[in-house]
A and B are shown apart, each in its own frame.
Chain A
Amino acid sequence: MTNVLELRGITKRFPGVLANDKVDITLREGKILALLGENGAGKTTLMNILYGLYKPDEGQIFVRGQEVDIQSPNDAIARGIGMVHQHFMLVPVMTVTENVMLGVEPTKNGVFLDHDKVADRIREISDQYGLEVDPHAYIKDLPVGIQQRVEIIKVLYRQADILILDEPTAVLTPQEVEGLFRILQTLIDKGKSIIFITHKLKEVMNAADDITVLRLGRIVGSIDPKDATPEILASMMVGRDVNLVVMKQPAKPGEDVLKVNDLYVRDERKNMTVNGVSFDVCKGEVLGVAGVQGNGQTELVYALTGLLPVESGEIYLSGTAIHNKSPRTILEHGVAHIPEDRQRHGLILSFPIYDNMMLCTYYEAPFAKGVSLQENVIQNNAETLVKQYDVRTPNIYVNASALSGGNQQKVIVAREFSRPIQLLIASQPTRGLDVGSIEYIHNQIIKKRDEGTGVLLVSSELDEILALSDRIAVMYKGQIMDVLDAKNANKDNLGLLMAGVHPSESTQKEERLP
């Protein structure tokens, strides 16, 4: 068996960071290599080097045994390397055909674009690899799963035989993930080789032939999927033993703390994105809201926290109506918010940590006295919280922008948990965090729950929802498909609900399209 691709001693330095440190990687022909690592481990940097978007400071790349010099994506494409990026590289206002031909446009008479020729080729590829798509559809009208197919077609159209997929499952439902894995298998059967980048442990064990783990820019080791367990992989990724299972006692739900009645909300572009949602959250329980991103979860949270106006419907917090109240009023009623975009809504990045630690109570005693801020009190408060919540920072005077994602999140958690709250709204609380920070945030959320706080957890990570929730609501197209007891929920029935199908309906349909 030959090695189609070999990276030897790849080193890449960014100012102040060693992104890749003498990395060696081998891809065997006709195999799937999973590149596993936490965010910031250097996986994407490595692949961008391979694809010619970055230039390595040291190291060699061999394609089929021959050393190659990859200066630009064009060089990579010429060597048969194709990349499916984590954030799709598709122009939304153009058709599938236009997106596929961009950069290698065939012409009629040497002048005008030959759409038909490309469309025919797309159909051929579709048939060959089971990647069904309408060549004349506009990208913006296609669901993400199909957009991903277009990305793969783009790569195949350029006759790549080495495919790099960067976090391809991040935006998919569990069923779409299965479909993707079937496609990958077809590609392997037709002789392609694949590098698959991910931080999700279970996917790796299902799909990969080889696993290589990266940590802090270095190769930790390679392992055969047959010998791997999630625990082993996690400890390789993090460098210490990690407790993957959140330890929690059964919930002791009390009375309702949040009650939402037939809520309608429009997003910033005035589209109705929350379409008649009703649910309640009790004291001392975690209600998980699952769903593929963009099904109204963001707008629901914005409405609950006063960031978007409510079109109609009611929101009650322990009996008090809080719909269309100002964010401050809502916060003062004891609502804590961990926003999904922590850098935009959770922190002021250019402010020091101590100011970020009191953003929602700065105007009250003890932080303010009359019109003046009490710097001593503010800084003491920050010192205490930094210790209590284990924020890893040189001191409290550095700007929030200097912290890592995990520590930024800890600042938010510290601020929100340090005031009396009855409801915690946590939106994608561990997005982009490393396994260690995830463990910490999860434990904090459960701790709050056990203290009697109601928790609304919005997440697109099913593992997170399943690990923390006592009840699970699934959102699809602005509505709640169903609310399941966590005991009865699993990836299959949640996945179907996330795709807008009630599991009872789907039992008749045995065969599902990829």
Chain B
Amino acid sequence: MTTTTTTPPVGHVIPISTRKSQTLYGFVLIGVGLLIFLLFGLDTEAGVTTTFGMNLVGSEAVTIPNIIVPSQATVFLMAAVAVFIGAFHLSRGIRSLGVVLGVIALTFIIAFLTWAAQDKSFNLTGMISSSFVRATPIALAALCGVVSERAGVINIGIEGIMLLSAQVAVVAATVTQNLWIGLLMAILAGALIAALHAFLVIRFKVDQIVSGVAINIVGAGTTSFISSRFLERATDTLNNSGTFPIIKIPLLSKIPVLGPTLFENNIIVYLMVFLVIALHLMLFRTPWGLRTRAVGEHPKAADTLGVNVHLVRYINVILGGMIAGIGGAYFTIGSVGRFDEIMTAGKGFIGLAAMIFGKWNPIGAFASSLIFGFADSLQVKLQILRVPIPSEFLLMAPYIVTMIILTGVVGRAIPPAADGQPYEK
């Protein structure tokens, strides 16, 4: 064959900023600038300051000065930045869509916080560290999804798995007076339910969505029943486990802002961070990862090379269930020490959104979990600040962010090619 027939290699970088989206996002940015001005700018009094607290009470971190900014000037500055960047994007075009979206988010959030906390103090470090903690169950749910879907099995039953294992964790921990046994039982519960899902969808080729929905319904029903029938009557003997203690990592926890965020957490949060890194390495650097990805992309190819497609899928779905089990344990023995009905509140589904936004990569999924964790923690802090927005609306924040990200920002994320398809020889 002549060399001319070789197709030029397709570039891996697709120019995202096409002209159409350039115009769109340019105007969105200018619109955001105007919105900042109208919503927050006009409502901010001149001469008032906003204090961003940089220290956390009870933290070991070295104390640093708080940031105090003039409220009105800051809001106006943010509006101006948004409009300026928008105009720049319209005329010149900014290469990376991420930068554009980042500017939109950042200017809006800074202006919003400055306005919300005008004449008051807002603890920034507190919010960042609580974002991280609140991202933990979302990230664990997302990791469960990654492990499972990379092998080609959709698991939307994560919510149900987490709910069940949350309850198992607290009951086991209360009864045995041992949090570790609670965690272990939660992992076991997660594995068992995931194994059921795997068995149904791999062995009997039940529709994966139907099986996942069933798990969610069973999870919500069973836990609510057990909760109202047994736990509420015997809170002290069944539903009062206490929580894992905070482990402060020497030296590192003294770093301002980062210390309280990353290095003053309980074991489940550390476990989440460890799993993110470990799974990322395993998925892309080990034989298990290679086989997992091959099975999720082209199971037939894997089969012809002697890889046992069904075995890989069983292992991964069950492994995912164990991770979701840890996520479930977080809700009870990792944060409040008791079980409340439907306490997962959709975190399993948000985790799936984080998985998609993170393009089925552990680290990507973790990063997007942080965004959702941020929205969640923002909502809590704003209620404390008594912002003139009804709390019902604030409670919606994480879910609204989920919808915006899934519909608008992600665009077309490409799932593993054989995701959701049963494998038949």
Contact = CB atoms under 8 A, between A and B. Distances in A.
Interface of A: 51, 53-54, 72-74, 77, 83, 85, 89-94, 98-99, 101-105, 107, 111-113, 137, 140-141, 143, 145-146, 154, 173, 175-176, 179, 496, 499-501, 506, 509, 512-514
Q: Is the interface of A mostly helix, strand, loop or mixed?
A: loop
Nearest to B303: A73
Contacts of A513: 1-3
Interface stretch (B135-143, B192-200, B283-291, B313-321): B283-291
Interface stretch (B293-301, B341-349, B370-378, B389-397): B293-301
Interface of B: 1-7, 9-10, 281, 285-287, 289-291, 293-294, 297-298, 300-307, 417, 425
A137 B9 contact: yes
A113 B301 contact: no
Given A77-B306, A103-B307, A141-B10, A499 B285 contact: no
Nearest to A477: B7
Contacts, number: 107
A264 to B, nearest CB: 18
Nearest to A176: B1
Given A94-B297, A98-B290, A143-B7, A103 B302 contact: yes
Contacts of A173: 1, 5
Given A113-B286, A140-B10, A512-B2, 18 more contacts: A53-B303, A54-B425, A83-B304, A85-B304, A89-B301, A91-B294, A91-B297, A98-B290, A103-B291, A105-B290, A105-B291, A111-B285, A111-B286, A113-B290, A141-B7, A145-B5, A501-B5, A513-B3
A91 B304 contact: no
Contacts of B2: 175, 496, 499, 501, 506, 509, 512-513
A298 B220 CA distance: 50
B411 to A, nearest CB: 13
Nearest to A77: B306
Contact of B305 (A92, A102, A111, A112): A102
Nearest to B281: A112
Given A105-B287, A107-B287, A499 B5 contact: yes
A86 to B, nearest CB: 12
Contacts of A72: 306
Nearest to A90: B301
Contacts of B297: 91-94
Contacts of B298: 89-92
A273 to B, nearest CB: 13
Contacts of B289: 113
Contacts of B300: 89
A98 B284 CA distance: 10
A83 to B, nearest CB: 7
Contacts of A98: 290, 294
A72 B305 CA distance: 9
B1 A514 contact: yes
B286 A112 contact: yes
Contacts of A103: 291, 302, 305-307
Given A175-B1, A500-B5, A91 B293 contact: yes
A33 B285 CA distance: 40
22 contacts: A54-B425, A77-B305, A85-B304, A89-B298, A89-B300, A89-B301, A92-B297, A92-B298, A92-B417, A93-B297, A94-B293, A98-B290, A102-B290, A102-B305, A103-B302, A104-B305, A141-B10, A173-B1, A496-B2, A499-B2, A499-B5, A514-B1
